[in-house]
Amino acid sequence: MDDDVKIHVYNLAAISLFDIELYRVNKVGCGDAFNCVYSMPDGCGGSEACKECVIRNSVRKSYGGSKVVREKADIQLVRGNKVEQIQMLVTTELLKYNDELYAIVILENISVDHKDKQG
């Protein structure tokens, strides 16, 4: 992610979090890609609740020189007509790629439902 918390590159494991067409994921806010309840109607970063977003703040901390390791986040995503609450551990660290700085973001889904589906 860039310093505005926009996704530039993602791996196949991240696809299960996205609730938009994959071709639209590039350079959109993470809350927009995940369909976070707080990204509506003003987009990711546009609501008052976005100021408390663990993902957003972790990326910003990394750009400020800190490494964030497994910080717990409760995230509410809109899926169809209902809101799904998931818990994640967020890890971020800066990486220089093609002379640009990006935050590598690792999101670990630790929700009870997610664990049950894994066996």
Answer whether residue 56 is part of any domain: yes
Please give the order of strands across the beta sheet that includes 68-79: 68-79, 82-97, 100-109
pLDDT of residue 119: 46
- Over 80: is that where the pLDDT of 6 sits? yes
pLDDT of residue 22: 67
Answer whether residue 80 is part of any domain: yes
- As a whole number, mean pLDDT of residues 105-110 equals 93
pTM of the predicted protein model: 0.85
Instruction: Provide the token pair at 48.
Output: 């008052």
Instruction: Give the number of other Cβ atoms within 10 Å of residue 114's Cβ.
Output: 14
Nearest partner of 50 among 68, 24, 30, judged by Cα: 30
Structure confidence by residue, pLDDT tens digits, 37-70: 999 889 999 999 999 999 999 999 999 999 999 9
Answer whether residue 57 is part of any domain: yes
Answer whether residue 3 is part of any domain: no
Answer whether residue 105 is part of any domain: yes
> Which domain range does residue 27 map to?
12-118
Answer whether residue 109 is part of any domain: yes
- Over 70: is that where the pLDDT of 107 sits? yes
Answer whether residue 78 is part of any domain: yes
- Tally of domains in the chain: 1
Cα separation of the two ends of the chain: 31
